[in-house]
Structure 1
Amino acid sequence: MTITAGAFGLGGILLFVCLAITALLFQSGDFGDDALFDAYIWRVTRFTLLQASLSTLLSVALAIPIARALARRATFPGRVWVLRLMALPLGLPVLVGALGLIEIWGRQGVLNTALAGLGLKQPVSIYGLFGILLAHVFFNMPLVARLFLAGLERIPSEYWRTAANLGMPPAALFRFVEWPVLRGLLPGAAGLVFMLCATSFTLVLTLGGGPAASTIEVAIYQALRFDFDPQRAIALSALQIVMTGALLLVLARVATEPAQSVTGGRASRRYDAETGLSGLSDTGWILFALVFIGAPLTAVVGSGLRADLMKLAGDPTVRRALLTSIAIAVGSALLCVGIATAMIRAAGTATARRHVPPVARAFAGAVTASSSLVLLVPPVVLGAGWFLLLRPFGDVARFAPAIVVAINALMALPFVHRILAPAMATHAARTDRLTASLGIRGFQRLRWIDLPALKKPLLMAFSFAMALSLGDLGAVALFGSQDMVTLPWLLYSRMGSYRTADAAGLALFLGLLCLIFTMLGTAGDRRVPEGRNA
Structure 2
Amino acid sequence: MARRAEPVGAAVGIGAAAVVAALILGALLAVFLRAEAGAGLGPADWAAVRFTVLQAALSAGVSVTLAVPVARALARRRFPGRRWLIALMGAPFILPVIVAVLGLLTVFGRGGWVSHLLGWAGLPPLQIYGLHGVVLAHVFFNLPLAVRLILQGWQEIPAERFRLAAQLGAGPREVRRLLEYPMLARVAPGALAVIFAICLTSFAVALTLGGGPKATTVELAIYQAFRFDFDLGRAAMLSVIQIVLTCAAALVAVRAARRDSPGGGLDRPIRRWDATGRGARVWDTGLIGLAALFLLLPLAAVVLRGAAGVVDLPGVVWLAALISVLVAAISTGLLLVLALPMAAAVAVGRRAGMEIAGLLGLAASPLVIGTGLFIVINPVADPFALALPVTALVNAVMALPFALRILVPRAVQVVERYGRLGASLDLRGWNFARIVLLPRMRAQIGFAAGLGAALSMGDLGVIALFADPEHATLPLQIYRLMGSYRMEAAAGAALLLLALSMGAFWALDRGGRWHAEA
Partners of 1:69 and 1:501 lie apart in 2 by 38
Partner of residue 101 from structure 1, selected from 104, 108, 130: 104
Asked if structure 2 preserves the Cα contact closer than 8 Å seen for 1:181 and 1:258, the reply is no
Report what 1:531 is aligned to.
none
TM-score, normalised with respect to structure 1: 0.75
Cα distance in 1 between the residues matched to 2:27 and 2:92: 30
Structure 1 residue 507 displacement after superposition: 0.9
For the residue of structure 2 that corresponds to 1:306, the secondary structure is: helix
**Residues 456-513 of structure 1, C-alpha deviations (whole Å, 9 max, x = no match):** 7665544333222111122223333577442223223333444332211101111223
- For 2:515, the equivalent position in structure 1 comes to none
Moved more, 178-187 or 126-135: 178-187
Specify the alignment match of 1:530 in structure 2. none
Q: 2:493 aligns with which of 501, 506, 521?
A: 506
State the match for 1:200 in structure 2.
Answer: 202
**Match for residue 90 of structure 1?**
93
1:118-267 map, 5 Å: 118-121=121-124, 123-146=125-148, 160=159, 162=160, 166=164, 183=186, 187=190, 189-256=191-258
Which whole-Å CA distance do the structure 2 matches of 1:384 and 1:284 have between them? 46
Partner of 2:386: 399
Say whether residues 1:48 and 2:48 are aligned partners.
Answer: no
The answer for the alignment partner of 1:389 in structure 2 is: 376
Aligned equivalent of 2:396, options 400, 405, 409: 409
Return closer, same or farther for 1:404/1:74 CA change in 2, 3 Å cut-off. farther
How far apart in 1 are the matches of 2:258 and 2:403? 19
Instruction: Give the conservation status (yes or no) of the 8 Å contact 2:226–2:465.
Output: no
The amino acid that maps onto 1:325 is: S
Provide the residue aligned with 2:516 in structure 1: none
Establish whether residue 61 from structure 1 lines up as the match of residue 61 from structure 2. no
Deviations 1:235-282 (A, max 9, x none): 111112122222223333343278799999x9x744449964565454
Q: What corresponds to 1:528 in structure 2?
A: none
Deviations 1:313-351 (A, max 9, x none): xx6544443333223224424544664565567567659
The structural deviation recorded for 1:94 is 2.5
- Residue 118 to residue 183, structure 1, CA distance change in 2 (3 Å): same
Which letter maps to 1:86?
A: M
Residue 323 of structure 2 aligns with an amino acid whose one-letter code is: T
Partner residue in 1 for 2:320: 321
The normalised TM-score by structure 2 is: 0.77
* Alpha carbons 2:383, 2:466 under 8 Å: kept: yes
Sort the Cα spacing of 1:322 and 1:186 in 2 relative to 1 into closer, same or farther, 3 A: farther
Mapping of residues 267-282 of structure 1, within 5 Å: 269-272=269-272, 276-277=276-277, 280-282=282-284
CA deviations 1:335-379 (Å, max 9, x no partner) are 44664565567567659xxxxxxxx76x47634642412xx3x32
Matched, 1:19 2:26: yes
Match of 1:293 in 2: 295
Does the C-alpha gap of structure 1 residues 114 and 163 become closer, same or farther in structure 2, counting only changes over 3 Å? same
Provide the rounded CA distance (Å) in 2 between the counterparts of 1:177 and 1:420: 31
Report the Cα offset of residue 136 of structure 1: 0.6
Percent identity, aligned pairs only, is 35
Instruction: Answer yes or no: is the 8 Å Cα contact 2:107–2:297 preserved in 1.
Output: yes
For 2:143 and 2:30, the matched residues in 1 are separated by 36
Letter of the structure 2 residue corresponding to residue 328 of structure 1 = V
**In 2 relative to 1, CA 227–399 (structure 1 residues): closer, same or farther, beyond 3 Å?**
closer
Q: How do 1:362-511 residues align onto structure 2 when only pairs under 5 Å count?
A: 363=353, 366-367=356-357, 369-373=359-363, 376=364, 378-396=365-383, 399-416=386-403, 420=406, 424=409, 460-481=447-468, 484-511=471-498
**CA 1:459–1:87 in 2, change beyond 3 Å: closer, same or farther?**
farther
TM-aligned CA deviation for residue 30 of structure 1: 2.3
Distance 1:438 1:185 in 2: 45
> CA-to-partner distance for each residue in 1:14-45, whole Å, 9 max, x for gaps?
2112333344556566244xx13x44333322
Going from structure 1 to structure 2, the CA distance change for 1:92 and 1:382 (only over 3 Å counts) comes to same
CA distance in structure 1 between the aligned counterparts of 2:380 and 2:289, rounded to whole angstroms: 55
Change in Cα spacing, 1:175 to 1:225, as seen in structure 2 (3 Å) is: farther
In the alignment of these two chains, the number of paired residues is 492
Q: Secondary structure at the match of 2:89?
A: helix
1:98-148 deviations in whole A, cap 9, x for unaligned? Answer: 222222222222222222322335x43222221111111112222343456
Alpha-carbon distance in 2 for matches of 1:411, 1:52? 20
The Cα offsets for residues 290-323 of structure 1, whole Å up to 9 and x where unpaired, read as 211122222222221232x3343xx654444333
Q: Deviations over 1:164-187 (max 9, x none)?
A: 765667876997699869946963
C-alpha distance 244-27 of structure 1, shift in aligned 2 (>3 A): closer
- CA RMSD in angstroms comes to 4.5
Distance 1:484 1:349 in 2: 43
Q: Residue 113 in 1 paired to residue 116 in 2? A: yes
Secondary structure at the counterpart of residue 230 of structure 2: coil
What is the alpha-carbon distance in structure 2 between the residues aligned to residue 379 and residue 4 of structure 1? 28
